[in-house]
Chains A and B, each alone.
Chain A
Amino acid sequence: MTVAWPATARPTTAAPPLALEARGVSLAYRDRAALRDVDLSVAAGERLAVIGPNGAGKSSLLRCLTGLAAGAGGSVGRSGSVHLDGVPIEELDRASVARRIAVVPQQVDLPFAMRVEEVVALGRIPHEDPLRGLRERDRSAVGRAIGRVGIGHLVGRDAREISLGERQLVLLAMAIAEEAPILLLDEPTVHLDLRHQVETMELLRALNERNGVTILAVLHDLHLAAHFFPRLVVLDGGRVVADGPTETTLTAGLVRDVFGVDPAVVRLHLAAEG
């Protein structure tokens, strides 16, 4: 199933189909549990942030949702099920998953000198003709992604010589060039300055509202999560401890219990408890 990106394609039905659905997912690395019995439903066209302290299982959840931890290889054990558009994810081959879900990794290291636009172009691999490589429509998708993320000034630079924040934007552009209907992001703003944090959030909102892209972002910054995401999922100790509209989910008690800090340090309008 392909999504025509430039066109606006917001689902309008009363009960939009579930893009991603995790049921009773548990994940353990050797004997250390990373996720415990996690249920999560993401409807097509939704935009949600996953928050939680370090080690809460946020990245593990992303791995499960993309089917990466499925092959229970040696030290990783997984149970439960993940469905992508209603199909068990392990029944799909990697290529069709990649055409549906684009992932922005936190960081990557580059063993070889590689230009910014070459990194972005890697996002087209799921669509690439195996023999002929990038075609005109791939190139224009790369150009669009570079334009949307606003990294045109980095074109031609070695991706190893730019700053961490700039590289994070390059990885975002790579995932956007994939033009997949679902976008998963793993802490996309950690290395960004304030302006780029806001711009990235606004870009995600535009992708979601104008292009109908389903967005799930793991975030550390509660302010960004609260300002830009209508739904929050809170993970702690591998469990979903809260899941709902941001206004009612982000309470002072949650900040105290989950993050173990005085809610006063969070300069946010926190919802009343109870």
Chain B
Amino acid sequence: MATDSRAVARPAETLAAPVVRLGRLELLRRRPALLAAGAVVGLAVALVAGVALGSVAVPPDQTVAILLHRLLGLDLGVSWSAPAETIVVDLRLPRVLTAMVVGTGLAVAGATFQGLLRNPLADPYVLGTASGAALGAAIGVLVPLRWLVLEFGLVHGLAFAGALLAVFTVYRLSRTGSLGTLTGLLLTGYAVGSLLAAGLALVMYLSGQNLRQIFFFLLGGFDGASWLRLAAAAPIVLAGVLAIALRARVLNAFLLGEETALHLGVDAQRERAILLGLASLVTAAGVAVSGLVGFVGLVAPHVVRLLAGPNARAVLPVAALFGASFLAIADLVARLVGEVPVGVVTAVVGAPFFLYLLRRARTGYEL
């Protein structure tokens, strides 16, 4: 439950009427449950649209009937053809669900990094995850080994490992410095990221005809999605997201800085390490599955904060739902436009929004 401003205002004592200047969206802020319900509806719409639409459209009623039949065992009395079921269940459903899982992970990781680093411009890649994953994947492309474990190749494995290794390195290096912890983390992240980016540039330069494959990874996409890959990545992402959501109290305590978090009873050093680890794990799993999809992790938490306020108890679950819908729709648009990389779509939507945020950041974005 988020802070309910009406409940706060209830004890009559000396409280004046709250300043009303928030307009229609105030209702959502006061009732995060309503916002969450809306986000669930949005998620369902994204699921049906993502599965129904594509190069071959499956009628929405059949799509819903197939989904309910396969996911919940319900029978709506609508009949469908075998090819429609194959398209829905074997081709599109794993892809849409993968996009949703990755979107959830990136949104929650983004909210976590922004809250921990107290930086509205932080995203899941800010501490070197992106460059670590990219370098790992690029090396994976160049190494002529083609093992597959759970349909994951060396590219995915090295991307996962690279992302985690990069964050771990940044964290360890920043701990020995004398700068303030947060500035130290950010600057170390930037420095290590630059170093890894140089490595990536070198690998790309040396990659010859494999360049296109590396490039694909950097832009991100879900065309390689399958049930087996989803089954491998989803537990990591969802468990991480759940573990972060259970620490909403800690993220709230960090809102006023580390020292205040300590005064409010949070073991700041330990909790920061745990949350950084969880968010990095979630990010790394997402990146290994789908490459570097940008902007979801930056934008989703801001949209939710705009609607629900900064309370992590509302931000985390709603951002999780919103990130899932956003990435599923972005992937749908990417497919409909003709298999452009999903990273292009999220950036086309995300970058203008980001500019809009920057414009409002000067005055704060209280609605």
Contact = CB atoms under 8 A, between A and B. Distances in A.
Interface in A156-184: 156-158, 160-161, 178
Contacts of A160: 364
Contact of B264 (A75, A114, A125, A152): A125
A125 B266 contact: yes
Contacts of A71: 269
A66 B266 CA distance: 13
B259 A143 contact: no
Interface in A125-156: 125-126, 128, 130-134, 136, 139-140, 142-144, 146-147, 150, 152-153, 155-156
A71 B268 CA distance: 12
B82 interface: no
A112 B257 CA distance: 12
A94 B267 contact: yes
B265 A98 contact: yes
A48 B238 CA distance: 51
B119 A158 contact: no
B226 interface: no
A112 B120 CA distance: 7
Q: Which of A66, A111, A118 has the most CB of B within 10 A?
A: A111
A153 B11 CA distance: 14
Nearest to B301: A112
Interface string A78-116: 000000000000000111111101110100111111110
Interface in B256-315: 256-257, 259-260, 262-267, 269, 305, 309-311, 313
Contacts of A146: 8, 13, 15
A103 B13 contact: no
Contacts of B215: none
Contacts of B269: 71, 73
A144 B8 CA distance: 9
Given A147-B11, A156-B18, A134 B1 contact: yes
Contacts of A115: 3, 5, 309, 366
Interface residues of A, number: 58
Contacts of B24: none
A117 interface: yes
Nearest to A144: B11
B262 A131 contact: no
Contacts of B267: 93-94
A270 B363 CA distance: 48
A182 B366 CA distance: 34
B167 to A, nearest CB: 21
B270 to A, nearest CB: 9
A9 interface: no
Contact of B249 (A102, A112, A125, A158): A125
A163 to B, nearest CB: 15
Contact of B5 (A101, A156, A161): A156
Nearest to A119: B256
Given A98-B265, A112-B120, A115-B3, 9 more contacts: A68-B263, A71-B269, A74-B178, A95-B266, A96-B265, A110-B256, A114-B309, A134-B3, A155-B15
Q: Which 3 A-B pairs have the closest CB atoms?
A: A98-B265, A147-B13, A143-B11
29 contacts: A94-B267, A105-B260, A110-B256, A111-B119, A113-B365, A115-B366, A118-B5, A120-B8, A121-B3, A122-B253, A122-B255, A122-B264, A125-B253, A132-B1, A133-B1, A133-B2, A134-B1, A136-B7, A144-B11, A147-B14, A147-B15, A150-B14, A156-B5, A156-B18, A156-B19, A156-B22, A161-B363, A161-B366, A178-B264
